A = this chain, B = another copy of it.
Amino acid sequence: MSWARDFLERYLRIPSVSAQGTGVREAVGLLLETFWELGCEARVIETAGNPVVYAEKKTSGASKTLLVYNHYDVQPPEPFEEWISPPWVPTERGGRLYARGVADNKANLAVRLGALKALGDGLPVNLKFTVEGEEEVGSPSLAGFVEKNRSLLAADACLWETGGKDEQGRPDIICGVKGILHAEAVFRGPARDLHSSVGVAVPSPAWNLAHALAGLRAPDGVVTLPHFYDRARRPDEADLAALRAMPYDEEARKKLYGIEGFVGGLSGEDLKEALVFKPTININGLSGGYQGPGSKTVLPKEVRVKFDVRMVPDQEPAEVEAALRAYLARFGAELVDVHGYPPARTPVDSAVVKAAVDSAREAYGKEPWILPLMPASGPMYVYRALAPCVSFGSGHPGTNIHAPNENVIVADLDPAEAHFGAFLRRLSACL
């Protein structure tokens, strides 16, 4: 494990935050150097945005090819004051390794490269690695990259970036991701900030924001945007069987999140179905007017809300965007900074999923479980168009991804590395 851990700590010290434009060159440099060290042919492929690092290793006699997806960019680290150790200084504490991006998804690349190092020249399949740099800002250049390099990326299966285990240590095998639409709504009112004494008569963008949001999602969590659910595909029998077998420790999750209960009183199978198969709209941030100490009697000229929409198959980002735009226009709001991608899935009973399940059982000595669709999002759809996709990794339920004190459990790294090695062997047999 020491090779992967050494690489990981170097990788974590790079503040590769795509939303803030930092650390890209350093991350690309480290990856190139490391792939060459591992005997891959590696190069930088430029895109309309941050470059992709591409690396391949061919095996004589192997007829099958696995395409691997990871990203070197991470979420912004703010709020800094809530980190117990600094986000760019990997720190081991209580058996966990803390740093921004360690779970999402630098450790996953590290264990995959660790397995490559361990396998040496005994690879059972050809490998193609792709590490992009814009996942955390919605992967705006990834579709273009795949379009331009379709033959280079040809593969029989894809391994996606992420995965983990539940509270009992059972590894998860992920068959898809929700789609996402990021957007910001800007509510404008008077030409300048006004004294709030006129608020009895002058229209306020802040009240418009409140009414617009309240009409978008009901208190029980049901989205009330017209036609929002029309295209949301219902789970089939295989999906429902996977859902029933899926562990979800409600009490442990409530404790982890620090909440009394779930939205609309969800529990049991309904709660699992919502997490896996229901789309929704989330508010990421609110801003506008006076936010300083004390009070200021101002009627703000502008307020803003950042939000994301989580979509399931067969919802279309363009349709959701158009519906949102039309809805918000009724409140005088403009939709800006819209970007995202559709959901993607591989059937739960496909060969690549079976290889992932069997190799997980072998590596962990525990029965894995299948997640038909991950509640989180990723641009899997562009790889899904190339080959069937599956995903697994070294995470756990308390990784705090996208939040302060992001971490992985150090003892999870070895079995995760073993899982990838075993998967390559199973894959060569079953594809």
Interface set of A (CB-CB < 8 Å, partner B) = 18-20, 75-76, 78-79, 82, 137-138, 178, 180, 182, 184, 189-204, 206-211, 213-217, 219, 221, 257-259, 261-263, 266, 271, 274-275, 278-280, 282-300, 303-306, 308, 310, 337, 339, 374-377, 400-405
Contacts and interface: CB of A to CB of B under 8 A. Distances in A.
Contacts of A82: 192-193
Contacts of A204: 263, 282-283
Nearest to A250: B201
B285 A290 contact: yes
Contact of A296 (B189, B193, B266, B285): B285
A7 to B, nearest CB: 25
B257 A19 contact: no
Contacts of A210: 209-210, 213-214, 216, 283
Pick the 8 closest A-B CB pairs, nearest first. Answer: A191-B258, A285-B289, A214-B214, A19-B294, A210-B213, A206-B283, A199-B282, A197-B376
Contacts of A79: 193
Nearest to A374: B197
A324 to B, nearest CB: 15
A199 B157 CA distance: 31
A194 B286 contact: no
A233 to B, nearest CB: 16
Contacts of A292: 19-20, 76, 78
22 contacts: A18-B294, A19-B294, A76-B296, A82-B192, A137-B294, A182-B297, A190-B259, A192-B258, A196-B282, A197-B310, A197-B374, A197-B375, A200-B221, A200-B280, A201-B266, A201-B275, A204-B283, A207-B217, A210-B213, A284-B297, A285-B289, A286-B287
B180 A297 contact: yes
B286 A403 contact: no
A216 B303 CA distance: 18
Contacts of A199: 280, 282, 310
Nearest to A277: B200
B201 A376 contact: no
Contacts of A293: 19-20
Given A76-B290, A214-B210, A198 B297 contact: no
Contacts of A306: 289-291, 295-296
